[in-house]
Amino acid sequence: MTIDFVIPPAAALWAGALVLPLLRRKIRAAALVFFCLAGLALVFLLPDGARLDVRFLDRTLILCRADVLSRLFGIIFAFIAAAGGVYALHLRDTGQQCAALLYAGGSLGAVFAGDLFTFFVCWEVMAAASTFLVWAARNREARRAGFRYLLYHLLGGGVLLLGILLLASQNGGNLEIAAFSPGVSAAAWLILLGVAVNAAVVPLHTWLPDAYPRATVTGAVFLSAFTTKTAVYALARMFPGWEVLLWAGVAMTLYGVVYAVLSDDIRGILAYHIVSQVGFMVAGVGLGTEMGLNGATAHAFSHILYKALLFMAAGLVIHTTGRRNLSALGGLARSQPAVLILYMIAALSISGAPLFNGFISKSMTVSAAGAAGKQAAMLLMLLASVGTFLSVGLKLPHFTWFSGAKGIKPERAPWNMYLAMGLTAAVCVLHGVLPGLLYRWLPYPVDYRPYSAAHLAETVQLLVLTLAAFWLGRRILEPHPGTVLDMDWFFRRPARFLRGLFVETPGKLFDGSGRAAQAAARRLASLSRNPYLLAGRSAAGEAYAQDRHRPAIKTLVSIVLAVFSLLAVLVLIAVR
């Protein structure tokens, strides 16, 4: 169905980014929330099948195409952008506010894009705007992490563009987004690789735990929601049933929890758990079954909510204490009880505890693996779930709010931070208690009951055993300051050598060749002014003098006439 009047939801947020600097400083923060809510309203107003086609360079671009899958992601993206805006109401940084609107608008544009060119443009807008949210912290760590983040996404975007161009050459210029058959072409593999970078698929994930902990307190909330989940949408749209994604996702679930247990930075722990939780979604897409795709999309929806809440709580701790490492925190439960309660709602959600939204989404993906006969994948994902509760549900809150009081006196946090956390926590609980509110938006009919006796018993057993193991081994898990070496060690370690080989050495060669060329040019200029310098001095022992040694005029005239006579003879011969 094509309707005459369609407004892409991204338009509301991008228009806001243009208008915001023109507004009074006091109302810009509120205006950010307004534009996000306007985008949410446009998502709901789009009927299924609505399209907006535009002719561009003899091609038809589909700027907006609405269906069940795009609507689901559009709803949660616009909602969490508004919640993030409420969390940042106290902020007076126009650059961050505009970047947040551009970033969120890019994610909405990508999920509603009907062609790969439009998708790519929105993809790159997201990369640029999100980089600014890292740099906005305005310190040396953030600047360096932002550059590494940008290089990763330029690499991923370049590979994605190469795949799109190759696909266009094969399909006669047709770039409409559709599902690829597994292993169908080199173009599909290139597009998959480009999307995998944004999905933080191991080993292409190091940009995420490197950059997110160094972003601004409010910027990290937006970062946690959009980039990886837009990539999950792209995988679900274009690569359902690719088995390589199943095992890549399983590897992500385990890899992320291992590094989260080792990390000392509270936002670093949460960042590694983005890698782990996105792994469940990638695995669900790899299964390719209706239940697997439902699980992947439902878990993306739930994850955006509880992960934003986790980053909100961690950000509030950093904002009020100025500390971000577990080893430097402790004893905050008495001074920040509300933050602890709201954090634990998110922690229990990500751990898949009953009555919280993670319970109704993560388990769907795990059950889909079992139903598809992938027992090994199912068991490994259950193991990853144990690690999630251990690090996010037990270790982080224990060493932040309870153990080892450090005499910290937190500052008072702005009221809007608590409001945003409360709204997000309420939705986490609401979906956990009433799963039908989420299931009705999924792309396929849902035939899954999370609150079965078997599933409840299994979940409670895992949580209780993990709690007991943590309590017995809590001294072993005590955090210590230090750097956790990840895959980026392989390019950070040889960085000095590679910089010398590919940057400094070519630079020295270029500078040397430039100096040699300048010296040669000066010598030639000198010789052109005085050719007798080649012989040193004239035969009479005199230096070259222009008037004295200039050829006679009759000689020059004779040479010119001879040349023209020769040319005339050649022309006559040619004419005959």
* SS3 of 215-245: CCHHHHHHHHHCHHHHHHHHHHHHCCCCHHH
In-domain check, residue 539? no
Q: How far apart are CA 106 and CA 127, in angstroms?
A: 9
pLDDT by residue (tens digit) across 5-16? Answer: 788 999 999 999
**pLDDT tens column, 23-32:** 998 899 999 9
Do 370 and 225 sit in the same domain of this protein? no
Q: Are residues 92 and 174 in the same domain?
A: yes
Please provide the average confidence, as pLDDT, over all residues in the chain: 89
Q: Which residues are CB-neighbours of 271 under 8 A, at least 6 positions away? A: 208, 209, 212, 213
The whole-number pLDDT of residue 345 equals 96
Percent of the residues in the chain that have a pLDDT greater than 90, as a whole number: 65
Region 462-474: mean pLDDT is 89
Residue 55 in domain: yes
Q: Report CA torsion sign: 139, 143, 144, 146.
A: positive
pLDDT tops 70 at residue 549: no
Distances in Å between the Cα of 19 and the Cα atoms of 11, 27, 85, 99 are 12, 12, 16, 13
CA–CA separation, 564 vs 450, rounded Å?
Answer: 99
- Encode pLDDT of 179-228 as tens digits: 998 877 899 999 999 999 999 999 999 999 999 999 999 999 999 999 99
Same-domain status, 232 and 247: no
Structure tokens at 426: 């309420």
Verify that 203 and 331 share a domain, yes or no.
no
| 129 shares a domain with 29 | yes
- pLDDT value at position 551? 64
Q: In the predicted model, is pLDDT for residue 298 greater than 50?
A: yes
Domain boundary among 212, 239, 266: 239
Last residue of a domain, one of 453, 482, 511: 482
- Together in a domain, 60 and 146: yes
* 219 in any annotated domain: yes
The pLDDT, as a whole number, for residue 574 is 77
CA 90/CA 412 separation, integer angstroms: 13
Average pLDDT (535-549) is 53
pLDDT on residue 550: 62
Domain count, the chain: 2
Q: Using the predicted structure, report yes or no on whether residue 55 has a pLDDT greater than 80.
A: yes
Joined together, the tokens standing for residue 359 give: 């319970």
Does the pLDDT of residue 255 top 90, yes or no?
Answer: yes
Q: Is residue 299 situated within a structural domain?
A: yes
How far apart are the C-alpha atoms of 9 and 44, rounded to whole Å?
Answer: 9
Instruction: Give the pLDDT of residue 330.
Output: 86
Report the distance separating Cα 57 and Cα 60, nearest Å. 8
Antiparallel, parallel or unpaired: β 59-65 and 51-56: antiparallel
List the one residue out of 66, 99, 305 whose CA is nearest residue 218: 99
Secondary structure element (H or E) that encloses residue 62, with its range: strand 59-65
- Report cis status (omega within 30 of 0) of the bond before 203: yes
| pLDDT (tens digit per residue) in 426-453 | 999 999 999 999 999 999 998 889 999 9
- 379: number of Cβ within 10 Å: 14
- Examine the fold and report which residue of 207, 239, 271 is the final residue of a domain before the chain moves on: 239
Cα(432)–Cα(505) distance, integer angstroms = 59
292 and 429 share one domain: yes
Work out the burial of residue 440: count CB atoms within 10 Å of its CB; fewer than 13 is exposed, 13-18 middle, 19 or more buried. exposed
Res. 104: pLDDT tops 50:
yes
Q: What is the pLDDT of residue 59?
A: 79
Which pLDDT score, from 0 to 100, does residue 77 have? 96
Q: What's the pLDDT band for 99 if we cut at 50, 70, 90?
A: very high
* Banded model confidence at residue 331, pLDDT cuts 50, 70, 90: confident
**352 conformational bin, left if phi > 0, alpha if psi -120 to 50, beta if neither:** left
pLDDT tens by residue, 361-393 = 999 999 999 999 999 999 999 999 999 999 999
Residue 235 has pLDDT above 60, yes or no: yes
* pLDDT band at residue 3 using 50, 70 and 90 as cut-offs: very low
Q: Report if residue 550 sits inside a domain.
A: no
Residue appearing with tokens 């740099």: 135
Q: Which residues form the domain of 425? A: 241-482
> pLDDT by residue (tens digit) across 497-511?
777 777 788 888 888
Query: How far is 266 from 449, CA to CA, in rounded Å?
Result: 34
Measure Cα distances from 360 to 79, 368, 428, 429, 457 in Å.
20, 13, 11, 11, 14
Contact 392, 347 (CB under 8 A): yes
- 127 and 68 together in one domain: yes
Q: Give the mean pLDDT of 119-135.
A: 95
d(CA 230, CA 277) in angstroms, rounded, equals: 14
The CA angle 473-478-484, to the nearest 5 degrees, is 115
Question: What is the mean pLDDT of the segment spanning 39-64?
Answer: 88
364, part of any domain: yes
Predicted confidence band of residue 514 (pLDDT cuts 50, 70, 90): confident
Residues 257 and 212 in one domain: no
pLDDT higher than 90, residue 569 = no
**116-120, 270-274, 300-304, 325-329: the lowest-pLDDT one:** 325-329
Q: 255 and 186, same structural domain?
A: no
52 falls within a domain: yes
**271: in domain:** yes
Question: Tell me: the pLDDT tens digits for 59-82?
Answer: 788 899 999 999 999 999 999 999
The predicted structure's pLDDT at residue 487 = 77
With H, G, I as helix, E, B as strand and everything else as coil, classify residue 55: strand
- Looking at the fold, whether 235 and 245 belong to one and the same domain comes out as no
Of 76, 422, 386, 31, nearest to 224 by C-alpha is 76
Query: In this predicted model, which residue has the larger pLDDT, 499 or 258?
Result: 258
Residues 139 and 211 in one domain: yes
